[in-house]
């Protein structure tokens, strides 16, 4: 048994994972991103400065922690090195502390191009992706033709694999999208260049984690996106292309499923969603707009407005039950300060027999059933002790525990570390 732990989102992303991972990083010897790519946008506030990370683990500013990127992550080298350069002045010894698996698949320029062309085309479902090439990169991985970091270390191997990929993509680009051909030489040169740059950062992340655990050290696994965007467990097809639920940790980091440890599921006190797809509790009136304004609900990666809705305990409970989630972290509770009544969805009326197919997560033919909680109408911002919360806020937290059938171990009342209440000191 290990004492590892995981922090990941149980909704449609942007639950506040970055803040919580940064806050808890002191309790870990290493933090590991294990899926997704630079579609993620994780916000941390360090010494009053706002930092948005896309690929690097949110522990990166903690000098004592190793930062790991496991093989389940798809890497854009442009984005990675841009991020490293930006964070270097405040993340000391980053080149010694950052370790990346050579088994990671690389996002290529043609992945970004195809993502963009598909999203623009009338022949495909518009998903509202981040246009970062994430879906096409994972498609190549599953199709067993991905260029992995290791492939960039040998010119002949890279050339063979890239030739195969480029002829495949050129056929598709020219004949389906009427697009010009890709420049093989340019793409090859870029890959070789990045292979060289990546070499000093490469490590067998899976063995590294096992080695740390053998020494009794703790690893924190940081999820990107949220379980409702998981390709198998989310609102398919309006999902991302990886397993962002706890099920993805073991395969993405390269560890045994029993070594994941304690799983902290981060949920916002309401829900948000960026892009297309069903959201049964979406609020279409001025309350939704006010939550969005007060919560600063604008995408950290794309700057798109986030749709807002009431807390949906039905979807969260389904994810909890099917993913061995240990406890909840309830974030952004302060955003609801202004409300006199707060709704929680505790059930669905399934129409047209759709309940029989609930596992498909279509969530189209459902009518949410709500309970109402009394609002507190006073500022919670920055409160860091449970006892200092007003009775209505305490009752709201208890209600979330009751309807989700899981303890709330952490509460977040503001974007920086100060506004954090830890109710289980064993984390
Ligand atoms: P992530 O993708 O899950 O890391 O979340 P994002 O960083 O995309 O979005 C969360 C936003 O809410 C960021 O702007 C955070 O600074 C902010 N935030 C995090 N926790 C809290 C909180 O408890 N209260 C408030 N008001 N803001 C928070
Ligand atoms: P973090 O880690 C919120 C959404 C996109 C789109 C869908 C597919 O910050 O919580 P993709 O580019 O992944 O193929 O897009 O997934 N999406 C996110 N939404 N937070 C994220 O990450 C997201 N990453 C992807 O908006 O609906
Ligand atoms: Mg985000």
Q: Output the pLDDT for position 206.
A: 98
Question: For residue 45, which ligand has an atom nearest its CA?
Answer: 1
Q: Is the CB of 382 under 6 A from ligand 2?
A: no
Give the pLDDT band of residue 354 (cuts 50, 70, 90): confident
Structural domain boundaries in the chain: 5-101+202-253, 105-198, 267-422
Give the pLDDT band of residue 356 (cuts 50, 70, 90): confident
Choosing from 14, 115, 151, 334, the catalytic residue is: 14
Q: Break the chain down into helix, strand, coil percent, rounded to 5.
A: 40, 20, 40
Q: Output the pLDDT for position 138.
A: 98
Q: Measured between alpha carbons, how far is 275 from 405 in angstroms, rounded to an integer? A: 29
Q: Quick: pLDDT tens for 166-212.
A: 999 999 999 999 999 999 999 999 999 999 999 999 999 999 999 99
Q: Give the residue, 125 or 266, on which the prediction is more confident.
A: 266
pLDDT at 43 over 90: yes
Q: Output the pLDDT for position 386.
A: 98
> What percent of the chain is modeled with pLDDT above 90?
94
Q: Is the CB of 361 under 6 A from ligand 2?
A: no
Write down the CATH superfamily of domain 267-422.
Adenylosuccinate Synthetase, subunit A, domain 3 (3.90.170.10)
pLDDT at 10 over 90: yes
Q: Is the dihedral of CA 116, 120, 124, 127 positive or negative?
A: positive
Q: Output the pLDDT for position 362.
A: 92
Q: Which residues pair with 155 in a beta bridge?
A: none
pLDDT at 123 over 90: no
Q: Output the pLDDT for position 233.
A: 96
Ligand 2 atom closest to 135 (CA)? 14
pLDDT at 153 over 80: yes
Q: Output the pLDDT for position 130.
A: 96
Residue range 396-414: mean pLDDT, rounded: 98
Q: Output the pLDDT for position 142.
A: 98
Kindly report which listed range (120-124, 236-240, 327-331) carries the lowest average pLDDT score: 120-124
pLDDT at 239 over 90: yes
Q: How many CA atoms lie within 13 A of 123 on its CB side?
A: 5
Is 14 considered catalytic here? Answer: yes
Ligand 1 atom closest to 301 (CA)? 8
Q: What predicted TM-score, i.e. pTM, was given to this entire model?
A: 0.97
> What percent of the chain is modeled with pLDDT above 70?
100
Q: Measured between alpha carbons, how far is 324 from 122 in angstroms, rounded to an integer? A: 40
Q: Output the pLDDT for position 28.
A: 97
Ligand 1 atom closest to 226 (CA)? 3
- Domain 105-198 fold: Adenylosuccinate Synthetase, subunit A; domain 2 (1.10.300)
Q: Output the pLDDT for position 301.
A: 78
pLDDT at 302 over 90: no
* CB distance 70 to 101 below 8 Å: yes
Give the pLDDT band of residue 125 (cuts 50, 70, 90): confident
Q: Measured between alpha carbons, how far is 414 from 419 in angstroms, rounded to an integer? A: 5
The CATH class that applies to domain 5-101+202-253 reads alpha beta
The mean predicted confidence, pLDDT, of the chain is 96
The token pair that represents 378 in the structure block = 């006073």
Choosing from 38, 42, 62, 111, the catalytic residue is: 42
């Amino acid at each position: 048994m290990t004492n590892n732990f995981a922090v990941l989102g149980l909704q449609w992303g942007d639950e506040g994972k970055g803040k919580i991972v940064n806050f808890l990083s002191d309790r870990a010897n290493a933090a590991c991103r294990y899926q997704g790519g630079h579609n993620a946008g994780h916000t941390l506030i360090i010494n009053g400065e706002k930092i948005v990370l896309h690929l690097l683990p949110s522990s990166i500013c903690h000098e004592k922690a190793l930062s790991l990127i496991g093989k389940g992550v798809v890497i854009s080298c442009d984005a990675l090195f841009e991020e490293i350069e930006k964070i270097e002045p405040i993340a000391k010894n980053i080149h010694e502390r950052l370790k990346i698996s050579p088994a990671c698949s690389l996002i290529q320029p043609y992945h970004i191009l195809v993502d963009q062309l598909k999203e623009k085309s009338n022949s495909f479902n518009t998903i509202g992706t981040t246009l970062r090439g994430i879906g096409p990169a994972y498609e190549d991985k599953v199709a067993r033709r991905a260029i992995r970091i290791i492939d960039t270390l040998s010119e002949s191997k890279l050339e063979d694999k890239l030739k195969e990929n480029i002829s495949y993509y050129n056929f598709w680009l020219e004949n389906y999208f009427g697009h010009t051909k890709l420049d093989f030489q340019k793409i090859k040169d870029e890959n070789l260049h990045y292979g060289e740059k990546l070499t000093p950062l490469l490590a067998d992340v899976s063995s590294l984690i096992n080695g740390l655990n053998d020494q009794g050290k703790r690893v924190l696994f940081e999820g990107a996106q949220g379980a409702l965007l998981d390709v198998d467990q989310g609102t398919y097809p309006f999902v991302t292309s990886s397993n962002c639920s706890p099920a993805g940790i073991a395969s993405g980091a390269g560890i045994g499923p029993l070594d994941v440890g304690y799983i902290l599921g981060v949920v916002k006190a309401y829900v948000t969603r960026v892009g297309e797809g069903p959201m049964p509790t979406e609020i279409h009136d001025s309350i939704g707009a006010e939550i969005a304004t007060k919560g600063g609900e604008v995408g950290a990666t794309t700057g798109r407005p986030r749709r807002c809705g009431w807390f949906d305990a039905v979807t969260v409970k389904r994810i909890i039950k099917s993913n061995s989630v240990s406890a909840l972290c309830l974030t952004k509770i302060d955003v609801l300060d202004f409300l006199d009544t707060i709704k929680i969805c505790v059930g669905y009326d399934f129409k047209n027999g759709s309940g029989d197919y609930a596992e498909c997560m279509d969530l189209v033919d459902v009518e949410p059933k709500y309970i109402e909680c009394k609002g507190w109408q006073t500022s919670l911002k920055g409160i860091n002790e449970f006892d200092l919360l007003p009775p209505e806020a305490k009752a709201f937290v208890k209600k979330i525990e009751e309807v989700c059938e899981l303890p709330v171990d952490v509460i977040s009342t503001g974007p920086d570390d100060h506004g954090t209440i830890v109710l289980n000191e064993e984390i």
